[in-house]
Structure 1
Amino acid sequence: MTPTRVRLPLRPLVTGLLAAALGSAALAGGGTAPLNTAPQTTAPFGCRPGYVRPDFRALTAQLTQARALWARQRPASYTYDVNQIAAPVLFPGTRVTVSGGRVTRTTLAPGQEGTVNPALSARTMDARFNEMAATLKAQAKAPCPIVRQSFDPAYGYPTRFASGLGDEGIMDGFGEWTISNFTVN
């Protein structure tokens, strides 16, 4: 006995499988509700599960307010320590001295070893504000941005700024710096 081969037309078979998988309304162009009943996030395709996009208007307003506070009471001379990571590289903590609106010295912070990278650390607070504003503007266009910032409540200078991408599977591309030991000279 020879097996009988049943030939089904391919188009109805594929259409039937798609209707079963996607729902008939999706095939008819009338699907409006998501088929996935799991809670939806604001994450576009390719972002990590649970990703929520930052509120760039709020971040920009916070930056503007902190910058105005800093401008009202900016000291002529100050010193601060900065710790910086540009994933996967952790740079040694650096002490930055500013006089007359210019960086006059960068040295290793107490207890740190390594070499100071002035290209990354030698910044006035005004330069840090500019860097933050430029990063916010650029990150607002990215598909899965992550941005975190905080400011000193008394002077308004930034105490932390972190920026990266919340893409699935990304292993680097994240940068962060923190400021501590701020002292008016």
Structure 2
Amino acid sequence: MTDLASVRRLSEEAAAVDILVDNAGTYEFAMTADQTVASYDEMFQVNVRAPYFLTAAIAPRMAARGGGSVVNIGSMAAHIGMASTSVYAATKAALTSLTRTWAAEFGPSGVRVNLVAPGPTLTASVPEENASAVGATTLLHRHALPQEIAAAVVFLASPQASYLTGATIPVDGGRTIA
């Protein structure tokens, strides 16, 4: 997703897309003074630029067909201050803002654009001790499982969410409200 030509090729090779899930993401947690230019650039390329140009290519085709659903994957980090997440949080905040803008742009043509903002989630790239440590700070005192995040994505992409656009759904165990 750092290669814009690959992003363009993906959008061109995709036929009639009804659901687009912008799920690619990367992170390198570092204190602001320790953040490298290379990791800064990579996070903005993958977390903001790639979904921007993928959505720019696919959503107009959805609109031309009269509808579709775009689900962006954000993060609770966009909504709360957490040390060592400055760049990652900024990229996810940008995606949150883009979600609202795209809902305004594409909604009149029947394309819904929403965002899921996961909290600490146990994945292949997140060690269990890290997910559990951050999970302990949530109101539910645990990390999420990938299928819990996926359930929110499926809901937003489904006809059950047909009157929902521009929304951010926090799937974070209550972390961003307390």
**TM-score of the aligned structures, taking structure 2 as reference length:** 0.25
Normalising by structure 1, we get a TM-score of 0.24
Structure having the larger proportion of residues in strand: 1
Q: Which has the larger radius of gyration?
A: 1
Higher helix share: 2
